[in-house]
Amino acid sequence: MKESPNLSARPIVQSVQNLDGDGLSTRRRESAVAPAKRSHWIVFLIICGLLGLLVFKTVLHLIQTDTKKARIVNAPSPVETAPVRKQTLEEVIGGSGTVQQFNTVQLTTQITARVLEVPVWIGDIVKKGDLLVRWDDRLIQASLEANRQYVQTSNVKIKNETRQVERYTALAKQNMGTPLDLEKAQIALADAQEELAKATMGLREAEIALERVRMKSPIDGVVLERLVNPDEITHNDQIVMKLGAIDTVLMAAKVTEEKIHSVQLGLPAEITFPAFPAETFQGNIFKIDPNTDPVTRTFTVYIQINNRDHRLKPGLSGFAHIHRAAKDVNAVPSVAIVNPSGDQASVYVVDRSGHATPRKVTLGIVANAMTEVTSGVNEGEKVVTVGQLYLKDNDKVRSTSKSDIGK
């Protein structure tokens, strides 16, 4: 009976101990959750801080690199600059093309006759005085002889009529003749003189026609067109042949339109031909065609080449290297030019106070990404090379670390 209370009390104590254990575990769990929540907040705040810093740096970067953004917050516009320097610019402009005759001579006939001989063909090289066409001269020879006889007869007739007038004049002075006889003699003399004039004109025309039955080359050249053949009948003012003068020839080189401002009359050029691979021919720009081909976007530059040995024939293909140089000139990077192809080319010049102002300039040679400025800026002045498209007059600017490269 004494052991019963002890047995009944143990479960009670155990249950109390169990209750105490559950509460303890609950408190432990609550204490473990609290630090976890605090760490989450700390991580969240760190991430927000990093994002804020990133946004701040991004905005700062935009202000430092974007002219529009800098203007919004009244900050200096970020630009890159380069100084105006004295340089020697050399440019080589290339263009392919073909050889042409320096000029063309059209030969026309001034007689109506049958062609007997045409001893030249298209492409033949002829010398001055070489026979080109020969006509049948038999009718001309007959006309020449007839007019000679006519002139002689007219001279004899004039002599007779002159004596007759002299006779009637002498009789009139002696009051032996009549005025009517003298008048008739004078009229006959005048008629004889008119016939002599016509005969002389006919004789001269026949002599000239005889000279024209043999057409000779007036120049050293090449036969471009042969428009008549033997046994054909030609007429006055008919074109029978075309010659090209080739003592001097022209190289018609095609140059791209963006180089039209660089090409000038008189510039030297070197021309090479596949037909003469070991030689370089020298020439100068003689003429510039102002019209641009709408398909190829090129214009034609005519280069004059000495061709005394007649080796260069019309149609020969080649390539021209046109040289242009400007020594000790003011030059700026080509990217600094605003509207370089128009008549309002300008650059932004940065003064000592850091303000940029637009200034009109006159451009010259362009070579190796540099452009000659013939007026508008002075040596040593700084021009904006990057960012100028968004600038306004008198904007405050700030040069970036990439500015003045190559100083």
pLDDT digits (tens, 9 = 90+) for 181-207: 778 888 888 888 888 888 889 888 888
Q: Which CATH number belongs to the domain containing residue 127 in this structure?
A: 2.40.30.170
Asked whether 134 and 214 are in contact (CB, 8 A), the reply is yes
| CA-based nearest residue to 356, from 346, 366, 364, 365 | 346
169, 249: one domain: no
The residue ranges of DSSP E strands in 76-208, in sequence order, are: 77-83, 85-109, 113-117, 125-126, 131-135
275, 240: one domain: yes
pLDDT of 264: 87
Q: Chain-wide mean pLDDT for the chain?
A: 82
Write out the two tokens for 244: 């090209």
Alpha-carbon distance values, 380 to 85, 336, 345 (Å): 6, 15, 20
Looking at the chain, the whole-number percentage of residues with pLDDT higher than 70 is 82
DSSP secondary structure letters along 49-108: HHHHHHHHHHHHHHHHH-HHHHHHTTPPEEEEEEE-EEEEEEEEEEEEEEEEEEEEEEEE
- 6: containing domain: 1-65
Q: Over the stretch 127-184, which tens digit does the pLDDT of each residue have?
A: 999 999 999 999 888 888 888 888 888 888 888 888 888 887 887 777 776 778 778 8
Residue tagged 């890159």 (tokens): 80
144, 112: one domain: no
The answer to whether residue 404 sits within a structural domain is no
159, 142: one domain: yes
The answer to whether residue 407 sits within a structural domain is no
Of 327, 358, 374, at which residue does a domain stop?
327
| Distance, CA of 58 to CA of 340 (rounded, Å) | 34
47, 153: one domain: no
59, 22: one domain: yes
| Distance, CA of 110 to CA of 112 (rounded, Å) | 7
Domain count, the chain: 4
| CA-based nearest residue to 241, from 378, 98, 83, 108 | 108
Q: Over the stretch 364-407, which tens digit does the pLDDT of each residue have?
A: 888 888 888 988 899 999 999 988 887 888 888 888 745 443 34
pLDDT at 54 over 70: no
323, 341: one domain: no
323, 373: one domain: no
Global pTM reads 0.56
